[in-house]
Amino acid sequence: MEDRFNLFDEQWIPIPLKGKASLRQVFTDETLESIGGTAIQKLAILKLLLAIGQTAATPEDNDDWKQMGAQGLGKKCIHYLEEHRNLFFLYGEKPFLQFPSLKKNKEKHSLQERDIGTNYLPDLPSDNNTIINSFQTSHPLSDSDKAVFIVSIMNYSLGGKRTDKNSPIFTPGFATKKGSAKPGPSLGNYNGYLQTCFQGKSILETVWLNLLSRENINSFFPQTCDMPIVPPWEKMPSGEDDKTARQLKSGLMGTLCGMCRFVYLDGDGIIYTDGIQYPSHKDGWREPFMAFSNDEPPKVAWVDTSKRPWRNLSALLELSLTNTCKDINCPQISMLFRRNCKAINEIGIFSGGLKVRANSGDQSVKQTDDFVDDSTFLTTSILNEEWFSKLKQEMNGLEELSKILYSSINKYWAGLKSGSSKAIAANGSEAFWDSCNSIKQCLFEKVQNDEKLRLQRKQFSDIAFAVYNNFCPKDTAKQILQWAESRPSFSKYLALEEEETIDA
């Protein structure tokens, strides 16, 4: 097959407000601020860029990393990509992250070419998919969309029965494949792992900020200490459990480009089979982007569509700013936080993922399931233990404010004996947090200034009271009485330690 659509030269990476960009552009153009698409596409593409960066320019330590800088990283990546350009064709004799042997075995094993369907989900449509409107039908995808899909499924595939059941086992003696394929290692079982990393002012700076040094890699992956970093496009696994596959499962590259699906683009469709099978967090899977505790079994940060990730910010920063960890820890943040704060004036923290649900081995996105995508930027000069203590206090106060609001709305509707009071109260609490999201940035900046903080608290309490009014109407005499009886008091929240209590 003719080599065509090279990811180094062709524009395929979604860029907000700018269309699409090539690998060459993201490693040279610092005006490209961020990756577009869904949260999963952003994470998957960032991990591919990191895999390229780690292959081309893994620094020995923090000093080496700082001396290289973002521009130095970009130059090394461009040099690497130019030397290995032949490995980044989406179509050809060695298609990027694909198995041409699936095409050769298509007739022998009755492998089926499937429609990719909606490329924003790292999955194929089920055989009994109900079509209600034209939006749900499969449409031919552009080559750039197919490239994003291929990259996304390597670590974020949904588990289930969409893989080809006639696919042969590539590793002799490996017989643990089941009817339902395991989910991608970075998506995880159950609800979907929440993934967190740093974000810079450009895509190139984001890659640089998340680049691990050799010291970091040896610390987090001691089983692969000082082993060379070899990406799968340089050395593809020949099967599910060969030497290359086992190295991917145990090292950094498996967390960036895990090859959990073996696929081949065939015409407008795809031959889609189970690939390297990864363990769940209960079986020992850990990666730097995950947030987890040291308990057994570990407590893991899941994607929660009703809870904005910035509400977990104090937990994510605790180890970095206090050297203690009472709950969960995200290694990507704790390992690199101090290094990054010394290097730049403003740093972003991105959290995202996909909320899923599982049923009989099949993962799907239904009802309230959705993508979660959240970025918070912090001025590095103010980040210290005192700032953290204040932030934790304010976040606890906001949580208490939310509980008071929930209780008041619940009391109102329970008193009227109308509707599901708890469900309405939960919706009210979620509406409160959604409204708070627009002014969260001010809280992080003003948390150490009592005068500004007093005004900030007033804003948050006003939002809570507005939500109460919106969810608890007072149009009738009975509603007015119940509204007054259930009316929340935020006086304790509004009072700073040295201030007199201000009644709400």
**How do residues 35-83 score in pLDDT, each as one tens digit?**
999 999 999 999 999 999 999 999 999 999 999 999 999 999 999 999 9
HSE (CB half, 13 Å, CA atoms) of 404? 19
Task: DSSP for 115-165, please give it.
Answer: ----TTSSSPPPTTPPP-SGGGS--PPPHHHHHHHHHHHHHHPPPBS-S-T
Within this chain, do residues 319 and 245 fall inside the same structural domain, yes or no? yes
8 A C-beta contact, residue 277 and residue 176: yes
Q: How many domains does the chain have?
A: 2
**130 pLDDT higher than 70:** no
- Encode pLDDT of 300-320 as tens digits: 999 998 888 898 888 889 888
Please check whether residue 140 lies inside any domain of the structure: no
- From the CB of residue 99, how many other CB atoms can be counted at a distance below 10 Å? 23
Q: By residue range, what is the domain housing residue 83?
A: 4-92+183-378
Report the pLDDT value the prediction gives residue 215, as an integer from 0 to 100. 95
Within this chain, do residues 394 and 374 fall inside the same structural domain, yes or no? no
Q: Are strands 89-91 and 269-274 parallel, antiparallel or unpaired?
A: unpaired
Within this chain, do residues 247 and 193 fall inside the same structural domain, yes or no? yes
Q: Among 378, 410, 431, give the residue marking a domain's end.
A: 378
Backbone CA torsion sign across 153, 163, 253, 89 = negative
Report the pLDDT value the prediction gives residue 181, as an integer from 0 to 100. 87
**500 pLDDT higher than 70:** no
Within this chain, do residues 193 and 242 fall inside the same structural domain, yes or no? yes
Within this chain, do residues 249 and 314 fall inside the same structural domain, yes or no? yes
Please check whether residue 98 lies inside any domain of the structure: no
Please check whether residue 112 lies inside any domain of the structure: no
Whichever domain contains 403, its CATH number is 1.10.132
Measured torsion, CA atoms of residues 130, 187, 180, 106, in degrees rounded to the nearest 10? 80
CA-nearest of 295, 297, 296, 290 to 312 is 290
In whole angstroms, how far apart are CA 399 and each of 265, 422, 493?
48, 17, 10
CA-nearest of 57, 62, 61 to 73 is 57
Q: Show the 3-state SS of 155-192.
A: HHCCCECCCCCCCCCCCCCCCCCCCCECCCCCCCCCCC
Please check whether residue 146 lies inside any domain of the structure: no
Within this chain, do residues 224 and 317 fall inside the same structural domain, yes or no? yes
Within this chain, do residues 79 and 224 fall inside the same structural domain, yes or no? yes
Vertex 48, ends 45 and 50: CA angle to 5°? 110
Q: Among 331, 354, 378, give the residue marking a domain's end.
A: 378
Residues in CB range of 104: below 8 A, 6 or more apart: none
8 A C-beta contact, residue 297 and residue 290: no
- Residue given tokens 């979604």 in the structure block: 14
Please check whether residue 440 lies inside any domain of the structure: yes
**399 pLDDT higher than 50:** yes
Q: Among 330, 352, 378, give the residue marking a domain's end.
A: 378
Report the pLDDT value the prediction gives residue 178, as an integer from 0 to 100. 64
- Encode pLDDT of 174-228 as tens digits: 766 666 888 999 998 778 999 999 999 999 999 999 999 999 999 999 988 878 8
Report the pLDDT value the prediction gives residue 503, as an integer from 0 to 100. 39
* Span of 123-132, 223-232, 276-285 with lowest mean pLDDT: 123-132
Report the pLDDT value the prediction gives residue 495, as an integer from 0 to 100. 81
Within this chain, do residues 15 and 84 fall inside the same structural domain, yes or no? yes
- Encode pLDDT of 79-120 as tens digits: 999 999 999 999 999 999 999 988 887 777 788 888 887 778
Within this chain, do residues 433 and 453 fall inside the same structural domain, yes or no? yes
Report the pLDDT value the prediction gives residue 176, as an integer from 0 to 100. 62
Please check whether residue 161 lies inside any domain of the structure: no
Task: DSSP for 326-350, please give it.
Answer: SS-B-HHHHHHHHHHHHH-SEEEEE
Within this chain, do residues 360 and 484 fall inside the same structural domain, yes or no? no
Please check whether residue 163 lies inside any domain of the structure: no
User: 327: which 2 tokens?
Assistant: 């709950």
pTM value? 0.92
- From the CB of residue 404, how many other CB atoms can be counted at a distance below 10 Å? 18
**504 pLDDT higher than 80:** no
Please check whether residue 102 lies inside any domain of the structure: no
The alpha carbon of residue 289 and the mean position of all alpha carbons in its chain are separated, in whole angstroms, by 8
Within this chain, do residues 373 and 404 fall inside the same structural domain, yes or no? no
- Between CA 98 and CA 263 the distance in angstroms is 5
Within this chain, do residues 202 and 337 fall inside the same structural domain, yes or no? yes
Q: Are strands 19-21 and 269-274 parallel, antiparallel or unpaired?
A: unpaired
User: 23: which 2 tokens?
Assistant: 């690998």
